[in-house]
Amino acid sequence: MADDGMLLNFELAPDAFAPAKKIKGGSWKDRLTARKSAEYGRQKAQERATLGKTIPQYGEVQSDEEELILPGERPSKRARTADSGESRSVTKPRIQKSAHRGDELPKTNTGEVISSLFTSNPASTVTPAQPAVEDETPIEPSNAPLNDELATFTTLGLSSTLASHLLKKLDLKAPTAIQRKAVQQLCAADTDAFIQAETGSGKTLAYLLPIVQRISQLSQQMKDAGQKFTRESGLFAIVLAPTRELAKQITTVLEGLLSCCHWIVGGIVIGGEKKQSEKARLRKGVNILVATPGRLADHINTTEVLDVSKVRWLVLDEGDRLVELGFEQDIQKIVSVLNLRNRKAQETPVPGLPERRTTVLCSATIKANVEQLRSIALKDPVSIAVDPAETNDTGDSSALEQAFSAPAQLKQSYVVAPAKQRLVTLFAALKQAFRRKGSVMKCMVFMSCADSVDFHFELLTRPSSTETGAQQDGDAERDAAQTQRVPGANLSRTDKIPQGNTISDTRTQGPATAFGSEETPVQLFRLHGSLQQATRTSTLKGFTKCSDPAVLVCTDVASRGLDLPNVDLVIEYDAPFSKEDHLHRVGRTARAGKDGRAMIFLMPGSEEGYVDILKEGKPRNLTRHDADELLKKGFAPAAGVVTDSSWEQLATNWQIDVERWASDHPKHLEQARRAYQSHIRAYTTHVAAERSIFDMKQMHLGHLAKAFALRDKPGSIRVPGQRPGKDAGAKNKESRRNQAAKKAPGTKRQRGDDDMDVPTATDEHDARRRMYAKMKAMSGASEFNLG
């Protein structure tokens, strides 16, 4: 064959042509393993010789995008790219990969996975053409008291005594728009009514003032007829509220009104209190009773002294929420008893007592499910809304629903943060909010479940660590620093906690050491429905009266009706279960004409479709923030030039410090795992109309685990048994819980009157089986996605 002048230069491994060694001895499995190992070694040697590359040594960083390697870890593998000539065996990835960037996560020798905050994050699907600019033009608050000279309480039909009391004692100079319309209507006629207005517009006074006025007139007529009006004269009004906190707040407002009418006595019966003391209170007599439906239905059955035959005013506060929580049967039972005993009262008439009962349904959002209450309790109701042009005076609930929007002066924004960066972005947002003293006084952070509240409370109040900005060089130095950060820690990684035991802390208040400082101290509070009632009451009281800046981490138990003064900022860390819940959450700020800000966290992808729902409320400002923007502001050094590497490194250090704190303490590690599991369960309970936005199939569970400071693979995060603190409360639940559990699969989620959190079962196997079935039916998620 002729020589064509081509020269081939092959660089081969020294043992390329060496005869393969025959392996003898051992079992056939051992021989097969040895042959594969030898073949793999020859293949890697050939690759090194061909490509001129070497295998990274222990702890060596391969590229700018590789993760931090800690002692005892295996070095991360370089991701294969399309233009590289490397040949490697295809293995099944440990977790789902992002489509746009490859990211092989390093593993420790304990099976933990440590990923970087700034790699493999999905890109936003909606990028604004230009940065949004807040509109600073002054705007008239939509829920402020009226400034019309003729708009006074004396012109609404109230007595001069009550109007003077509002002005001099309660410092209420003028009514709001909804108060003016409601008081005029309910004082003049005995008709059922809807009251619908924005949050913070004074709906509680809108129905309490007519009740106090009418009962005051009734007492005068009884006195003219020669009868004495006392607390034993009878129960004339009942106010039903969905939560204990709202019931207590209504009682506080009622007591303030009744201080000018000392002969009228109010009372309260709610879950969590001793029934014997409530029975003693009812035995003495009350004229106006505030209650939760479950406890009132129980007293109607068991307390003979409770006489409801003279009740002429029934208020269903947050009526749509009463339906959502499964109180239809309790309300139907209460209404049927009121109707039955009303006929009995007519046999012994009371001077001035109306012949028919007035029922009022009151809420900031009245949805279509109010039709259930209409058929149960209302008869030919009239609609009372602020703007008659936007609503229908015939009581059309659909028109009322469409007319609602957030207060005009409320500034809203949304944060697009990848799953891995959620926790560190929340920290950066809080740190930035409380950096300047006096900029924010009170903040509420809403989460989806009680376990998540407990974990984040412990995380943000953990013992002070060294300054986040301190540079930590070397793995050994970082481990030594971590040992010093947790003084007195008496739990080690080898300590075992019996699965299912209670590990909850009774502490509900502490200094926010994570983002507070000596110059600007911040107090942190937690609140959810699994806490004891006395604890919940003291927590709300402490948050309200706290003179330092304060943050309340809570579930939706604090989203309805509560009037917490000086709340400047509301953060929805977990998205609400429905748009109505969002409107009630953000309604905790910008109340009674004051300014306020609200921020919601969304993840890139389908969740960005929630922006269209936010726009339905026609917000004055709807500003977009990216996670990098907040991280740069929150972690920027106090002095010097801000570079990408500086704030990224500080954010990474903070995240790794939190992960070490969780992994080194079994108690907090179990809290993190429970919070992770409960968050996933809660994520599947969004309303059907929004389920395409909050799609479990698009959730990256490995990245989500990092937001809970976990280094475990999703499939290994399992915490069997009952959630902490639930065993005691489960024994005291009403029979309504059991009735709700018997409903057909696919119905809406049921929650108790005092616990608006995600329900859990005591039986581990039954809970897991039902969770798999429900999630598969809702979102088509596989067993792998359930983690």
Cα separation of 410 and 142, whole Å?
Answer: 10
Number of Cβ within 10 Å of residue 44's Cβ equals 14
- Strand 523-527 to strand 509-511: parallel, antiparallel, or no bridges (unpaired)? antiparallel
Name the residue among 571, 626, 631 with its Cα closest to residue 603: 626
- pLDDT at 289 exceeding the cut of 60: yes
Note whether 357 and 436 are same-domain residues: no
**In terms of domains, do 364 and 448 share one?**
no
Q: Same structural domain for residues 423 and 318?
A: no
Task: Flag whether 633 is in a domain.
Answer: yes
Label residue 572 by pLDDT band (50, 70, 90). Answer: very high
Percentage of residues in the chain with pLDDT exceeding 90? 38
Mean pLDDT lowest among 12-21, 214-223, 545-554: 12-21
Mean pLDDT rounded to a whole number for the chain:
76
Dihedral, 240, 246, 247, 251 alpha carbons, nearest 10: -120
Share of the chain above pLDDT 70, in %: 67
Judge residue 155's burial from the number of C-beta atoms within 10 Å of its C-beta, 0-12 exposed, 13-18 middle, 19 or more buried.
middle
Whether residue 232 lies inside any domain: the answer is yes
- Torsion sign across C-alpha atoms 621, 627, 632, 635: positive
Residues 578 and 550 grouped into a single domain? yes
What is the phi/psi pair of residue 81, to 5°?
-110, 165
Same domain, 346 and 446: no
Q: What does the pLDDT read at residue 435?
A: 87
Q: Could you give the CA distance from residue 119 to residue 103 in angstroms, rounded to a whole number?
A: 7
- Separation of alpha carbons 166 and 206, rounded Å: 13
Domain count for the chain, please give it: 2
Residues 200 and 294 in one domain: yes
Asked, for residue 94, whether it belongs to a domain, the answer is no
CA-CA distance, 391 to 404, in Å (whole number)?
9
Would 525 be classed as within a structural domain?
yes
Q: What is the mean pLDDT of residues 464-469?
A: 47
Q: Are the C-beta atoms of residues 96 and 700 closer than 8 Å to each other?
A: yes
Least confident of 133-142, 230-239, 506-515, 613-622: 133-142
Rounded Cα distance, 83 and 96, in Å: 22
314: enclosing H helix or E strand: strand 313-317
For the ranges 122-126, 179-183, 464-468, the one whose mean pLDDT is highest = 179-183
The top-scoring range by mean pLDDT among 143-152, 503-512, 543-552 is: 543-552
User: Which two structure tokens, joined as six digits, stand for 627?
Assistant: 């996670």
- CA pair distance 751, 760, nearest whole angstrom: 11
152-156, 298-302, 562-566, 611-615: range with lowest mean pLDDT: 152-156
Residue 328 has pLDDT above 60, yes or no: yes
Decide if 391 is inside a domain.
yes
Tokens for 479, please give them: 């481990």
Angstrom distance (rounded) from CA 739 to CA 741: 5
Higher pLDDT, 92 or 288: 288
- pLDDT-wise least confident of 55-59, 279-283, 607-611, 703-707: 55-59
- Give mean pLDDT, residues 765-777: 55
Both 209 and 252 in a single domain?
A: yes
pLDDT tens digits for range 406-433 = 788 889 999 999 999 999 999 999 999 9
Does residue 69 form part of some domain?
A: no
**Is the same domain home to 335 and 440?**
no
Say whether both 399 and 422 belong to one domain: no
Is the pLDDT at 116 greater than 70? The verdict is yes
Closest CA to 481 of 61, 62, 76, 70: 70
452 and 555 belong to one structural domain: yes
For residue 653, the enclosing domain spans: 410-466+505-786
CA distance 190 to 122: 59
Residue ending a domain, choose from 358, 388, 403: 403
Q: State how far the Cα of 685 lies from the Cα of 696, in Å rounded to an integer.
A: 10
Q: Which of 403, 425, 450 is the last residue of a domain?
A: 403
Shared domain check, 530 and 385: no
What span, in angstroms and rounded, lies between the C-alpha atoms of 465 and 456?
16
Amino acid at 472: Q
Characterize the bridge pairing of strands 382-385 and 266-269: unpaired
The answer to whether residue 776 is domain-embedded is yes
Is the pLDDT at 718 greater than 90? The verdict is no
Residues 616 and 639 in one domain: yes
96 domain-assigned: no
Residue 162 has what pLDDT? Answer: 93
Q: Give the containing element (helix H, strand E) for 203.
A: helix 203-224
Q: What is the CATH number of the domain that holds 637?
A: 3.40.50.300
Complete edge-to-edge strand list for the sheet that includes strand 237-240: 266-269, 288-291, 237-240, 313-317, 358-363, 193-196, 382-385
Which of 383, 403, 423 is where one domain is finished?
403
